[in-house]
Structure formats: C-alpha cells, structure tokens
Amino acid sequence: MSTPHGCTDDSDVIATFKEALKQRVGHERFQIWFSGVRFVLETADRVASPAEPSRAIVAVAAGQFAADRLSNHYLAAMRGAAASACGASTTVRVHFEDRPNRQAELPFAEAGASDAADGSGQDDAPVPAPSKRPNRRAATKAGGASVVRSPRGAQSLRSILRDGTDSRKSPQPKRAAPAPRSAVSPGGDLASRMPSPAATQPPTADKAHHGSNTRNDCSWENFVGGQCNELARTACKMAIESPGLASPLVLWGPPGSGKTHLLSAVAGKLRGLHRMRRVVYLSAEEFTNDFIKALNGNCLPAFRSRFRDADALLIDDIQFFVEKKATIRELHHTIEMLAEVGKPLVFAGTKSPNEINGLGGELSGRLASGLVCQVESLDAQTRTELLARYAQERCLIPWPDATLQEIASVAGGDGRLLSGIVNLVALLQRMHGQMPTMDQIRQHGAHLLRSSGVPITLSAIERAVEKVFQLDSKSLQSGSQTKSITEPRMLAMYLAREMTSSAYSEIGGHFGGRSHSTAILANQRVRQWLDAGRSLGRGQAAVSTDEAIRRIESMLKTG
C-alpha cells in the first residue's frame, strides 16, 4: 500500500503531538515502540472526502507487526495526544510501509557453460541470456569494467535439481559402525577394538548452537532425575505442559546440579511440542554482550525486537547481572512486556533472586513473583545413575558395580566433576587395556576426587553461619550475648556436633572459649527449635531453623 505524504510546514504540530504522546505513554515506552514510527500530518486538501475531518495524523510503521501493535495498544493514546495537539476534530490512522522482499543471490554459475558440461546431451536446447546484473565480488577494478566470473567448482541450479547432488561440496565419508563394547584382556590390543577417529567424530554443522554442542545434548529424555531435583523437574514439567503458568520460573542451586540441562530441555520441548519458532535461550553473559553491542552500534530497536517479540525467554546464570544497572533495567522491561502477554519465562542461577545482592529490588522481586525452585546437589543415588550413564556412553569396558558405588560415595554432588572422572577412567582404560582399579584411579585422579568434596571443619561451619545471618567475621567467637549473635552461635555448635567428629569441649572452645556444657545446651536448644519450627534472626535475615540449616549445608557443599 502507498503511504500518505504530509506537509513539511507542519513540523511544529507533529513535534507538539509527539511530546503529548510521550507524556501519555511514558518516555521509555515511547522510545521502544515509536522510535521507528514516522508521523505525517494530512491537511484538508489531501483528504479524499469532504465529510472527513480537516486534519488527520498518520502513523507510518515499518511493518505489519508494528502497525498492529500500535493499533491494538496505543491508538487511544495517540488519539488523545492528537486532540490536545491539533484539536478535537483531528483523527489518527495507522499505516505501514510495504518493503519488497529481496531474494538472496545463489552462488551458482549462470546457465551456459555449466549446462553444457553436465553431459545432458541437450546441445540444441536454447540457452538463456546471462543476467545483466554484475557480480559485485567478480567486478574488476581496472578500467571500471564488470566481468562475471563463475566460482570455482560452480554447478548450475538445473543440474543440482536433476541429479540431487552439489559438486561444490566434498563428498562426506560414511560413518563406520562403532566397535562392540567388550572386555579386553590385560595386555590385549585395545586400539584394534576402538572406533576410528572418523567414526567417533560428531557432526559439527547440525549441532551448532551458540558455538557449543553442549546445550543440544541436554534433552528432557536424558536428564537423570532424583530426590535432589524432583521439585525442579516437576516445575519444569508444568512449564512445558502449560507455558506461561507460574511465570517467571527460577531454578537455583549449586554448580553442576543440572540447572543448565533443565533449561535446555525446557527450550527443546517448547520448540517441539508447542511449535514455538522464537524460543530465545542464552546465558546472562550473552544477553549482556548483545545489549552492549546494540548500544554501541545504534541498533537498540532490533535488539529489543529480538527479545520482546520472542515466544519464550530462557536465561542461565542470572547472577552475572549483578551491578550491571543498565542491563538489569533493560532485562526488567523485557520481562515485564513478555509477562504482560503471558509468554513463558525461565531463569537459572546459583542463588535465589532475593539472595543475589546487586540484582536490584525491582528485578529480584519480579523474578520471585512467579515460582522459585531449588535444585540441590546430586545425592548418592543420582550420582550413581549419572556415573553409570556416562560410563556406558564414553567407556569401552563396562564398570564393575563396586567401582560405581565407591566413586559415587566419595564424589561430590557436582555433575561436571563426575563427567571429568569418567573421562579419566576412559583414558586409563586405553592406557592399561583393562578396567583400572580404584588405586589406579586415585593415583591419577586424586585431584578430582579431592576437589569433589569440600572438607567440613569448625571454621567452615562458622563462616557459613555468619554468611547466612549476615554477621561480621569472628562475631560468633565474641563474647556478645545479644540474641542476634547467640542464636546463630548455638546453631553453629549444633551443626558442628552433627557434621564433624569434634567433641563438645572442642566445639565450645572454638566458639569463644566456652565450656562443653554450653555446647551440649546449644545442641538441645536447636533440636527444640526444629520441633517447634521457630525462626532465627531478625529483619531480612530472619529464616526458619530448618531453612537456615539447609542453606548452610548448601554453602558447605559448594565451598
């Protein structure tokens, strides 16, 4: 459709109209939705019928989507602004500009020599005239002449459609079937039983996503569930079955607990089950980098259109947004607009939104308004199942059940460390030609087994309790008798008795040189608090006793 042309002498009226519209919709919304809109004032001599009003303001949008958005959400505001700027008789219409679609140029040679070389035998067939449009890449600089050159190994589109092959692409060798997994006797030739490198090399083109294949390998079907992640799995299943329900959904927990896997699985299900074409899934760092590039490149409208027109938004590692005020403000507005239309929002981080300092009150409150679920460290049963799955996928020799159980018992709850342990065992299998013993695994992988578990000491418990209750360092060892200090101190004594082998006298001596009877009394008091469901602390740091113990244990597991 053709767009109307207004009078350039009425720029003051348009400026007054824009200012009135900005006051009605707000400065930020005006910058988002009206920065690419052109306003035209039509006077009486350009109106088709004399019965129409003497003036009309036409909002010319860049496309059909933008025009529909203005008509559905901002037409009343534009009419009010037009009435205040130009008079009550002024009407408002919304048009959009037609932009013809441009077809991408195919890198095929023009018909002629390539058709003659394909061996079709149709020498008498008429040859179409070559295109008059010059090839920019083949244009020579000397003399200003434009010469069309065929790319190396060019093949006509006609022959490709006829033969179904493209001679420009090198033929891909067929992947050899992997060798069967069988036990290898000591000293046997393990290399002869292993798949060739060509057979084990995964395709890179089909799995490229943000430069990594990791996310595509994380599906809902291969996620290992257990009691440690049952709550989060149920919440993600609800988000898959009913997108937009209890949105935004926030998953939080220590590293290696499966949060990224769940986010990737949810994104895949939203694309597959609900046919959502614009599911945006990325990390907080990628969102920040894209936002900075948009600011520096003056392409902020395109950035906002990408995220605010999405069908679903999933962001990992939200703790990366700390102290990035401009990015936090942009993310908050994006979440508000998507939540307004009921789009599914899923986030993940190492802490719950209210515990991330520097995230901002508005954003943390908006994230907490949906559903916040904890993903705990992997328990022993889940670790065993995950180890067995990794071993089956990566190792040629099956693992004995005793080895699985022993490694799962000494390893921590980080799934990434379990993956590293399995990779080490696979290497030892290649080196020794058999399944390594536990002594050999400890000899070469002591750093993995040692880093997988954080040693729990009295000092570690003290630091964790002070962090949960936001206390100063060494405050639990002071002689203060205020309630805000004595209650966390008794809780620390209780945990020290439960989680370490320290005696009551050692525990009392560590926390300010107190006697063993004080440590015994603290143990009894905390048990009474747990039975009564009593809260500890004051103000924002006030939590139930059970919740405080859970947070402290989580900190001790992650170091």
Q: What does the CA dihedral 232, 238, 239, 243 come to, rounded to 10 degrees?
A: -170
Each residue's pLDDT tens digit, 388-416:
999 999 999 999 999 998 888 878 778 88
More confident residue, 81 or 164: 81
Asked if the model's pLDDT at residue 499 lies above 90, the reply is no
Each residue's pLDDT tens digit, 436-450:
998 888 888 877 775
pTM tops 0.85: no
pLDDT given at position 52? 47
Helix (H) or strand (E) segment spanning residue 292:
helix 284-296
Q: How far apart are the first and last CA of the chain?
A: 64
Asked if the model's pLDDT at residue 103 lies above 80, the reply is no
Q: In terms of DSSP H, where are the helices of 138-210?
A: 157-163, 197-200
CB contact burial 320-338 (16+ within 10 A = b; e otherwise): bbeebeebbebbbbbbebb
pLDDT given at position 328? 95
Handedness of CA 66, 72, 73, 76 (dihedral sign): positive
Dist CA 342 CA 226 (whole Å) = 30
Dist CA 140 CA 144 (whole Å) = 7
The amino acid that residue 312 corresponds to is A
Average pLDDT, the chain: 76
Dist CA 323 CA 311 (whole Å) = 28
- Please state, as a whole number, how many other Cβ atoms lie within 10 Å of the Cβ of residue 421: 22
Q: Is 228 helix (H, G, I), strand (E, B) or coil?
A: helix
pLDDT given at position 450? 56
Asked if the model's pLDDT at residue 546 lies above 80, the reply is yes
Each residue's pLDDT tens digit, 298-339:
899 999 999 999 999 999 999 999 989 999 999 999 999 999
Give the residue-averaged pLDDT of 536-552: 78
Dist CA 276 CA 310 (whole Å) = 9
Question: What's the token pair of residue 237?
Answer: 């299943």
Which residues are CB-contacts of 46 (< 8 A; sequence separation ≥ 6)?
Answer: 4, 5, 6
Least reliable range by pLDDT among 40-54, 247-261, 480-494: 40-54
